[in-house]
Amino acid sequence: APPDLCHGHSGMFQAMAQQECYFINGTEQVRYVLRFIYNREPYATFDSDVGNYVGFTPFGERYAERWNSDPDTLEYRRASVDTYCRQNYEGMTPLNTERRDPPSPSQCPP
């Protein structure tokens, strides 16, 4: 294909998915959030508190509709609270909750 001569096109695109777990009172209440982002713009998300996918752009709405119509996909994502978040809670706990010593005054910025 010939090169794109439009100066507005950098030729670099970024697509990513970001998973987050929120723990309230240990593992008593756990929330799992999966965000889909394209070129720094979120286009769809799955939130375990909502229980299905939500689209934020026309592109994301089409994908959310497709994912929500598949019971296996929804069951897999809803189970992520247990299989992803709670499964990894013990490994993440020392990083999130334990603090050995308070910072000394010499470590604090002026």
CATH number of the domain to which 19 belongs: 3.10.320.10
In a domain, 99, yes or no: no
Query: What's the domain count of the chain?
Result: 1
Assess contact for 11 and 4: CB atoms under 8 A: yes
In a domain, 87, yes or no: yes
The reported pLDDT for the residue numbered 69 is 97
In a domain, 100, yes or no: no
In a domain, 55, yes or no: yes
The reported pLDDT for the residue numbered 80 is 93
In a domain, 78, yes or no: yes
| Tokens 């375990």 belong to residue | 48
Tokens of 12: 């670099």
In a domain, 3, yes or no: no
In a domain, 23, yes or no: yes
The reported pLDDT for the residue numbered 28 is 84
The span from the CA of 22 to the CA of 29, in Å, is: 8
Tell me the CA distances in angstroms from 81 to 41, 48, 77, 94, one per residue in order.
Answer: 25, 7, 8, 19
Those residues with Cβ within 8 angstroms of residue 74's Cβ, 6 or more apart along the chain or in another chain = 51, 52, 67, 68
pTM value? 0.71
The reported pLDDT for the residue numbered 101 is 57
The boundaries of the domain holding residue 32 are 15-94
In a domain, 64, yes or no: yes
16-72 pLDDT, tens digit each = 999 999 988 877 889 999 999 999 899 999 999 999 999 999 999 999 999 999 999
